Amino acid sequence: MDINSKSSPLWFALFLLMVLAGVVSAGAQHFRLQTVHDSLSLLTLTTAGEIDTLPLPYPVYRFATGDLTGDGKEEAVVGVVKSTRFFADSAPRLFILKNYEGHIRTLWRGSRIGGRLIDFRIVGSRIRCLMQMGENQYSVGDFHVGRFGLRFDKFVIEGVSKENALPAFYQQDRELAVAFTGDILLDRGVRRQIDSLGVESLFTPSMDSLLRTADCVVGNLECPVTEIRSPLFKRFVFRGEPEWLEPLRLHGVTHLNLANNHSIDQGRRGLMSTIAHVKENGMTPFGADSTLSAAVRPVLLTCSPREVYVLPSVQMPLEQFPLLPGKPMPAAQSVDSLCAGIQRLKAAHPGCCVIVCLHWGKEHTLEPTPTQRHQAHQLVDAGADALVCHHTHTLQSVEHYHGAPIFYSLGNYIFDLPADINRRGAVVIMHITADSLRAEQHPFTIVGCTPCLH
């Protein structure tokens, strides 16, 4: 059989295997959960280029990861519905699992923990549990992972109604997770893949599982998505179909950034049409609007555990597109203006978190320019808590400056460029508490046009 023939079943099977499994390479450990069906999930551990898998033949109601033992490695906490040898009724239980020399090992397969478990979440290095203690009697308690399993720390609140317990369970010290992706293109080679394999071929269960761990998912939409055909006279002109937006939402995307050099490819009418279609499909567009003053307005992602704002801007000249402040356009501000905006935000909203998203840099390079580094430092000095950027179509280096992470370019996310340098990208997840920000990078390789996690 000729495996080079794209019509052959073997070629399709190999393609599907690569999409589902991703490309395995060395790197930091990652736990991921993939749902096979309602009563079967697969927990996978990827570390140093090796994969270990543990089937979980139970319904799963929650999955979270965190460093619960203080050794710098993440543990996986899986909430399952099952019976135990001590309790015959099926109810929510906790599994806590750890990486031991590249293999998944169990730390705890808990039954009841002082009360009937209702839900859990990770708060720092603790597991916070909502428990039913009796009829309409609920408590919230914090637990830590000890040498022999889960150990009780303290009650956050005890013996109250469920309505009174829930605010304590979700109280302000909770952690918010915000995921950022690089460039999303819905034209050219991506269009051909959709026409051949369907729009679902752009997504994988492993990436879905990762994005489900985030409260918000922010992508950079690198094309207008509109039925309007009014192309600008420029070298690369793109246009996606509006019906391709809903799958983005169904696979986790909540916000789409339009502050880039391709959202204007179908003119000002196409830009406004794209904004409308993004809203119609249940996502939040930002970084472009009917006027410059509206376009540069920071987007508020959440107010809890504190206010989190994203400040977008495209930093290169827009080809064949005059910047008219009173007309529809993407957010385009100088670094000095951005610094002033950050300072105003910080003064008006003390304690808020400001994440700057810039579309900038020299394409197809692996390092930022000295000017970019200087500008990034200016933005942090002005008060930015993090920078997450794109445009170069490559995964660039990461810097930490005065405690603020600077991701100079996340590379492509859904894209068609075939060169190896353009097929490597990353999803960044920001973990934000009331007084801290921690960033983690999840690398992937694009297979076809589909991002496949390592």
Model pTM score: 0.67
Domains of the chain (ranges plus CATH)? 9-169 (no CATH), 176-453 (3.60.21.10)
**What is residue 1's predicted lDDT score, i.e. its pLDDT?**
35
Highest mean pLDDT: which range of 143-152, 155-164, 361-370: 361-370
The answer on pLDDT for 8 being more than 70 is: no
Determine how many CB atoms are found less than 10 A away from the CB of residue 85.
6
The answer on pLDDT for 380 being more than 60 is: yes
2 — pLDDT class (breaks 50, 70, 90): very low
172 — pLDDT class (breaks 50, 70, 90): low
Q: Quick one: 136 exposed, middle or buried, by C-beta within 10 A (0-12, 13-18, 19+)?
A: exposed
Question: Among candidates 331, 339, 346, which has minimal Cα distance to 294?
Answer: 331
**What is residue 260's predicted lDDT score, i.e. its pLDDT?**
98
**What is residue 366's predicted lDDT score, i.e. its pLDDT?**
97
Q: 206 near 178, Cβ under 8 Å?
A: no
Highest mean pLDDT: which range of 9-13, 127-131, 333-337: 333-337
User: Picking from 63-72, 268-277, 299-308, 359-368, which range would have the lowest pLDDT averaged per residue?
Assistant: 63-72
- What percent of the chain clears pLDDT 90, i.e. is strictly above it? 63
H helices, E strands: number in the chain: 10, 27
**What is residue 29's predicted lDDT score, i.e. its pLDDT?**
72
* Residue with tokens 């508020």, as numbered in its chain: 300
The answer on pLDDT for 6 being more than 70 is: no
**What is residue 381's predicted lDDT score, i.e. its pLDDT?**
98
CA-to-CA distance for 381 and 69, rounded, in angstroms? 34
User: Picking from 209-218, 238-247, 370-379, which range would have the lowest pLDDT averaged per residue?
Assistant: 209-218
24 — pLDDT class (breaks 50, 70, 90): very low
Determine how many CB atoms are found less than 10 A away from the CB of residue 200.
12
284 — pLDDT class (breaks 50, 70, 90): very high
**What is residue 170's predicted lDDT score, i.e. its pLDDT?**
80
**What is residue 25's predicted lDDT score, i.e. its pLDDT?**
36
CA-to-CA distance for 363 and 202, rounded, in angstroms? 24
User: Picking from 25-34, 163-172, 181-190, 343-352, which range would have the lowest pLDDT averaged per residue?
Assistant: 25-34
362 — pLDDT class (breaks 50, 70, 90): very high
Q: Please report, as a single letter, which amino acid is at residue 73.
A: K
CA-to-CA distance for 351 and 337, rounded, in angstroms? 21
Instruction: Summarize the confidence of residues 34-62 as an average pLDDT.
Output: 89
Task: Give the HSE-up count for residue 318: Cα atoms under 13 Å, Cβ half-sphere.
Answer: 24
CA-to-CA distance for 75 and 69, rounded, in angstroms? 8
The answer on pLDDT for 13 being more than 60 is: no
Residues 289-348 have pLDDT tens digits of 999 999 999 999 887 788 899 999 999 999 999 999 999 999 999 999 999 999 999 999
Question: Among candidates 274, 144, 147, which has minimal Cα distance to 221?
Answer: 274
The answer on pLDDT for 14 being more than 70 is: no
Both tokens of residue 2? Answer: 């000729």
Q: Which three-class secondary structure string do you get for 257-320? A: ECCCCCCCCCHHHHHHHHHHHHHHCCCEEECEECCHHHHCCCEEEECCCCCEEEEEEECCCCCC
**What is residue 382's predicted lDDT score, i.e. its pLDDT?**
98
